[in-house]
Chain A
């Protein structure tokens, strides 16, 4: 039926595109003030809707918001990154769950995908890294949608 095939939505507003891409930047300084937990949850609740293969959703997010929590990162950071990381209102560790496939029966209930992964570490790692990285990108864009600035810690994507 023609009416059902018609697009239901067009491009979002130019102002929104400016905020998410054209004017979105890597900031080196922060305005004072904290980010409420409710806002962090809102960012996640948008980011979780982005696509992953078989809805496997391997990304996990650790939010460090207090001086005590952020201090735990100091020994793991390259010296040049310590000050800028400690100055940020929130540090986020984007991680992935190496046992993400155990949740597939719940996340992808119409077909049992879990047996494809059990005992296959290379496939688990490739799937987890690819989809977890995608979810990290969704998270950055979701933060921008909500008016937040999300900055990759320099060099942190290099495996060491």
Chain B
């Protein structure tokens, strides 16, 4: 399992099957003193076509 088991979340929280979990987030006020360096991003030239 990588991340979370969506089927288990649905069974636990949405037993009637109407809503379905898609992803999990955590929310709060982050501690900036413990930030890691930002990972690289694709630059515009790599990620675009101009038509």
Interface residues of A in 124-160 (CB under 8 A from B): 129, 132-133, 136, 139-140, 143, 147-160
Please give, as numbers and ranges, the residues of chain A lying within 8 Å of B28 by CB-CB distance.
Answer: 30-31, 33, 35, 88-90, 148-149
Chain B interface, >50% SS class: mixed
**Interface segment, A48-56, A93-101, A112-120?**
A93-101
Apart from A78-B4, A94-B21: 19 A-B pairs, beta carbons within 8 A: A27-B35, A29-B34, A30-B26, A35-B28, A35-B29, A81-B4, A84-B26, A89-B29, A94-B23, A97-B19, A98-B18, A132-B22, A140-B25, A147-B29, A150-B25, A151-B27, A153-B3, A158-B3, A160-B1
Q: Provide 15 A-B residue pairs closer than 8 Å at the C-beta atoms, listed in order of the A residue.
A: A73-B9, A76-B8, A76-B9, A78-B3, A85-B24, A90-B28, A91-B24, A91-B25, A92-B24, A95-B22, A148-B29, A153-B23, A156-B23, A156-B25, A160-B5
